[in-house]
Amino acid sequence: MTPTRREFLAQSSLAGAFLALDPRRAFPRQEKEAPGLRLLILGGTAFLGPEIVAAAKTRGWTITLFNRGKTNPHLFPELEKLHGDRNGDLKSLEGRKWDAVIDTSGYVPRHVRDSATLLRDAVKHYVFISTISVYEELSKPGMDESAPVAKLADETTEKVTGETYGALKALCEKAAQSSIPDRTTVIRPGLIVGPGDSSDRFAYWPVRVDRGGEVLAPGDPQDPVQFIDVRDLAEWTVRTVAEGTLGVFNATGPTEPLPIGALLEACKKASGSDATFTWVDAGFLGEQKVSPWSDMPVWIPPVGKEAGASRVSSARALAKGLAYRPVEETAKDTLARWKSQPEERRAKLRAGISPEREAEVLRAWHDKIGAKKG
């Protein structure tokens, strides 16, 4: 069975508008540096974590990592590393103090509650990385942080699946907020993309376009898409700590609606390929069992129950300085990272339709169009 958008987000998280092409908005000059700040990161060694470390290091902060020491243990030999397990072994955190903690690895409410309770008097600020999958439904375009969140019939469950992921994250938010009231920031990213994403959920497009030739393009070129470069998310997350920003924030982008046509053109410009795009309507793709989001990454038809999935408002975060780099830069850097991987890794993308299946669907589409013309 093909995974839904929510299931794909959960799996990816656990494994690991041409306006967007304009020059990047600069951060306001009044941004606080908070020199000498002591930062604890729960996690810190996969995808978003290393980017948060990089952003914090540029400010000269003192950084401590807490994790099991199993994922990329070779990273950051210069940093203090505390080993433990969020499932019951937090001993190495006891008796210590930091100015702030960024929680990048909380998926189970009990784990978040335990860490937040332990750190209540040890930190001034708790930042929890959540997800827009917390929302009960995504049918309304433009929805903001006030929208209802998903709930579980059994709130004691701790099994993270495509069905429980969003509701568990909502309970994690609640656990952090109740354990450290008035000192918590909740950040709800959308699809996180860019160099270092091992899921290939965005990489499919720059890699496929770079290959050139006729590209199967889904739906209508004006269908909106949303995502955030991991580096932009990391920089803004660190900024919320520097400025003491509290509250709940959606964090997806870009600033203005980005059509998927603009995304694919940005990929073409980034690669310099000879790719051409054949736009195939959503109804035909459905008949061919080509699924949004998994077979055609990033894209979701803007209709029905997920009509607003790619039109979530991040106005609150934008007002607090969230900024986005050009999508062409994200595409170019993602492609460069892909090309630097070993040959066996590049043998098959982990997301998106296979070349053979793409060719079959394109032939079927041309046959249908040809029959209509005949």
Note the pLDDT of residue 307. 95
Identify whether the C-beta of residue 71 lies closer than 8 Å to the C-beta of residue 46.
Answer: yes
Across the chain, mean pLDDT equals 92
**Residues written for the chain:** 374
Of 180, 214, 249, 156, the C-alpha closest to 358 is 214
Q: Which two tokens stand for residue 253?
A: 């982008």
Report the half-sphere exposure of 340 (CA within 13 A, side-chain side). 8
Identify whether the C-beta of residue 312 lies closer than 8 Å to the C-beta of residue 226.
Answer: yes
Note the pLDDT of residue 6. 54
Identify whether the C-beta of residue 219 lies closer than 8 Å to the C-beta of residue 299.
Answer: yes
pLDDT in tens for each of the 374 residues of the chain? 444 555 545 554 544 432 333 333 333 334 556 778 999 999 999 999 999 999 999 999 999 999 999 999 999 999 999 999 999 999 999 999 999 999 999 999 999 999 999 999 999 999 999 999 999 999 999 999 999 999 999 999 999 999 999 999 999 999 999 999 999 999 999 999 999 999 999 999 999 999 999 999 999 999 999 999 999 999 999 999 999 999 999 999 999 899 999 999 999 999 999 999 999 999 999 999 999 999 999 999 999 999 999 999 999 999 999 999 999 999 999 999 999 999 999 999 999 999 999 999 999 999 999 887 76
Three-class SS of residue 235? helix
Reply yes or no: is the peptide bond before residue 302 cis, omega within 30 of 0. Answer: no
Q: Which helix (H) or strand (E) covers residue 357, if one does? A: helix 355-373
Identify whether the C-beta of residue 205 lies closer than 8 Å to the C-beta of residue 269.
Answer: no
- The β-bridge relationship of strands 38-42 and 62-67 is parallel
Three-class SS of residue 249? strand
Q: Which two tokens stand for residue 149?
A: 């969140």
The pTM assigned to this predicted structure is 0.91
Q: Which residues of 10-46 are buried (b: 16+ CB within 10 A; e: fewer)?
A: bbbbeeebbebbeeeeeeeeeeeebeebbbbbbbbbb
Q: Domain 5-373, what architecture?
A: 3-Layer(aba) Sandwich (3.40)
Q: How far, in Å, CA of 277 to CA of 217, rounded?
A: 6
Identify whether the C-beta of residue 156 lies closer than 8 Å to the C-beta of residue 326.
Answer: no
pLDDT digits over 180-236, tens only? 999 999 999 999 999 999 999 999 999 999 999 999 999 999 999 999 999 999 999
Q: Which helix (H) or strand (E) covers residue 215, if one does? A: strand 214-218
pLDDT digits over 291-324, tens only? 999 999 999 999 999 999 999 999 999 999 999 9
Q: Which residues contact 165 (CB under 8 A, 6 or more apart)?
A: 6, 7, 9, 10, 13, 107, 131, 133
Q: Is 119 exposed, middle or buried (0-12, 13-18, 19+ CB in 10 A)?
A: buried
Three-class SS of residue 132? helix
Of 143, 126, 130, the C-alpha closest to 192 is 130
Note the pLDDT of residue 30. 45
Note the pLDDT of residue 1. 42
Identify whether the C-beta of residue 28 lies closer than 8 Å to the C-beta of residue 89.
Answer: no
Note the pLDDT of residue 7. 55
